[in-house]
Amino acid sequence: MNKISKFAQIYGNVTFGDNVRIDDFCILTGDIRIGNNVHIACFSFLSGGAGIEIDNFVQIAPRCCILTGSDDYSGLSLVGPCIPDEYKPGLVKGQVIIGRHALFGANTVIMPGVTVGEGAVTGAFSFVRDDLEPWTMYRGIPVKAFGARSQEMLKLESSFMRGEV
């Protein structure tokens, strides 16, 4: 059973798996596919104009932004969602793919075209502009790896999926 807050705003082609929770004041727009057992915490913004794929067991902390487009602020392009793309030659677009068991700390920003490997995590206030390797912990602006993440949770996932206590 999904729990989508009545205060969340969802626009476009957004699909949900099972057991998805989206908290108050989240905005999801564009082409977004959300897997099973996913939580998106309050005040998060997912802009899926170029597509966002979120695999199972992903956890997104409060105030995270996942962006599939980024305007050019140099003055060489017009900017903003009300301007057609042909007037924005500096626009950067790219699908964001988030692997199973990824976890983002509060205020993480994911930029266009990033692939987040299975089990990758970011600390709070992280800025991600390049792909993240599987089962690696990251932090910083921009993010840097600082260690490996345990995969012990995969045993718990197996028990959970079988309905064991």
Q: pLDDT, tens digit, for every residue of 67-106?
A: 999 999 999 999 998 999 999 999 999 999 999 999 999 9
CA–CA dist 95, 72 (Å, integer): 18
Which domain, by its residues, includes 142?
A: 3-162
For residue 3, give the DSSP letter.
E
d(CA 6, CA 59): 20
Assign 164 a pLDDT band (cuts: 50, 70, 90): confident
d(CA 134, CA 55): 13
The domain that contains 28 carries what CATH number? 2.160.10.10
Predicted confidence (pLDDT) per residue in 39-56, tens digit = 999 999 999 999 999 999
CA distances from 164 to 35, 57, 158 (A): 21, 17, 9
**Interval 4-16: pLDDT, tens:** 999 999 999 999 9
Helix (H) or strand (E) holding 155: helix 153-162
CB atoms within 10 A of CB 80: 8
Domain count, the chain: 1
Q: Return the CA Rg of the chain.
A: 16
